[in-house]
Chain A
């Protein structure tokens, strides 16, 4: 047994809200985040619904209280907004005497600006504003957020495709267990880009209508953008900070499926191992899980293999479950943290988020998700799944705080 890992604060900005409070309201009202896009420069935005955060970079900078010119990329501006909310909530201050680490997950980092650069550069190699490409690397957002918050003890960035920011929590827990730092700000950020919209379209897994995760008639995913962070503290740390835990991170597991670069195995082996590993870590039997926040992207392959894996773990005694990607879209590198934060909020607010647009269960697995968000329902243990390209599978378990 290692240290107990407590979640003491969260921050989130997604297509359904610019903070935790707005996110809860949207979940309860069943309001999805698909909009007419204003900021993504892609012709595909006319053919496919996208879930855009409805603020310009200037507005994001104002919300976070940072300089747009300094932060440059949308990825780092989104990260700044969510990280600031989480840090403020836990009272993280520079030089407050508590060593702090920052771990950020992302898939394309500063791509939103480098693709602007590249459109010019590809015509003529002396063209393109270098200011647009200098923040291309994935570590840029974490470095900027660390500087904004005065975090200097440990800073790094993870990129394991769509499980990136779930892994931030796992690496964060490891740092706390090893005593490398006393407190960790873990999460992730990704913005919509011309690059990723075209990438997922080339794989033919974008739905041209609003996505229907876990539904038999699902046709693909809607891409989204977001950032989310949580503050992780140990028992010793909360004794210093006086923070009241919202809940506890009790289980986690990361494993490779070793099957295929992009597809999940039909039996859902990777998903199965991630879930059972997390349950084992938490010391919980499957019947103790009250709600599963599914990876549930809306693609044929993921939802089938994930739901088969869920059946293998839980049998006929299924907990409540849903995919919240109908609300936020698939926010890629941010998705793991977005769904972790939604899980944390669910414990705090006593809700079970709904699964938008579900009608018919998938044959073979017959999973029926919670369709409309349930309120006033106490949930003690939540399993959150995140799976990525390269067969990177991760699962996290959040549990109600008990002394």
Chain B
């Protein structure tokens, strides 16, 4: 069974000209959620709701049959808020709201409540392949014909604490800047008006560069991908210690047409969700017929996604 991407929704960050950091504006979701409900929601939850509901709205689906999400670090803002309150108030009389909303499955849970989706609901939290794990499970669910229209997506958010800690760690170097945002898509076994097929995916947990190269080669061969007519979405983030070995591998396959989607959203664990949305939209807009996407957060896990025009 073929898997189609019916629609996409995304909430993009903007590059701050001074710091270079990619931050999202305030997500406006009153179209989807009563403001009395949303006032306690953090940025990541609103961002996820915005992207998820936009994707559903675009293909005219009010209730998806399943919701599968991914997040690298989850609801960091609420996590920090709650732990700060524990320290500040010495473990007494705490407001539970930030704790409640700090759970990683908050976005999937909230979208299920908004849409009345009582189907399968899961959340993946495996670093740089959190979104790709969610998309892969959705892909398998369509293949096994267990679900109809699945909403799959990923989201992460920046906090001041995260920026300070990663700065101390020296995590983001050279021209690599942290980012945040969310990307969702509706995947289905029914073609409908879709013009994009999610043809294949492969997740590679290994950090071993020669193994990553081997898996990429196998993936290209298995799917008969040809560099001449396939646009490559590369995981480059602006840090040469991350990019050089990846460039080296890609060059071995003689790729000509390469884009680096993280130039527009920065580096974060679910940047792959925005890259994937961008890839699907590029095919929808008829700017490419085949796209091979390689995502990898810094020098960690890798994921390969192959999309093509229907």
Contacts and interface: CB of A to CB of B under 8 A. Distances in A.
A42 B91 CA distance: 8
A303 B143 CA distance: 37
Interface in B137-155: 137, 140-141, 143-144
A177 B115 CA distance: 29
Nearest to B141: A174
Contact of B120 (A178, A201, A255, A388): A255
B176 interface: no
Contacts of B110: 261, 390
Interface stretch (A138-146, A336-344, A375-383): A138-146
Contacts of A175: 140
Nearest to B70: A156
Contacts of B165: 121, 130, 133
How many A residues touch the partner, as a band?
A: 35 or more
A118 interface: yes
Contacts of B143: 178
B109 A261 contact: yes
B125 A390 contact: no
Interface stretch (A17-25, A158-166, A290-298, A315-323): A158-166
A210 B90 CA distance: 24
Contacts of B99: 198-199, 202-203
How many B residues touch the partner, as a band?
A: 35 or more
Interface string A255-290: 111111110000001100100000000000000000
Contact of A199 (B74, B80, B96, B206): B96
A43 B122 contact: no
A154 B203 contact: yes
B94 A390 contact: no
A19 B161 CA distance: 39
Chain A CB within 10 Å, residue with most, of B73, B83, B87, B112: B83
A167 interface: yes
Interface in B111-131: 112-113, 115-127, 129-130
A119 B165 CA distance: 14
A30 to B, nearest CB: 32
Contacts of B115: 258
Nearest to B88: A122
A216 interface: no
Given A118-B83, A130-B165, A139-B126, A390 B109 contact: yes
Chain A CB within 10 Å, residue with most, of B84, B104, B211, B301: B104
B86 A43 contact: no
Contacts of A125: 164
B133 to A, nearest CB: 4
B95 interface: yes
A198 B106 contact: no
A55 interface: no
A388 B113 CA distance: 14
B86 A258 contact: no
Contacts of B123: 158-160
11 contacts: A152-B206, A157-B124, A157-B133, A158-B123, A170-B122, A174-B140, A174-B144, A195-B79, A254-B120, A254-B122, A256-B120
Given A389-B105, A390-B108, 18 more contacts: A118-B84, A121-B165, A134-B169, A139-B127, A143-B205, A146-B205, A160-B123, A175-B140, A178-B143, A198-B86, A199-B96, A254-B121, A254-B122, A255-B120, A256-B67, A258-B113, A261-B113, A389-B100
- What are the nearest 4 A-B pairs in CB distance? A390-B109, A155-B205, A256-B121, A199-B99
Interface of A: 2, 42-44, 106-107, 109, 115, 118-119, 121-122, 125-126, 130, 133-134, 136-139, 142-143, 146, 151-161, 167, 170-171, 174-175, 177-178, 180, 194-195, 198-199, 201-203, 254-262, 269-270, 273, 388-392
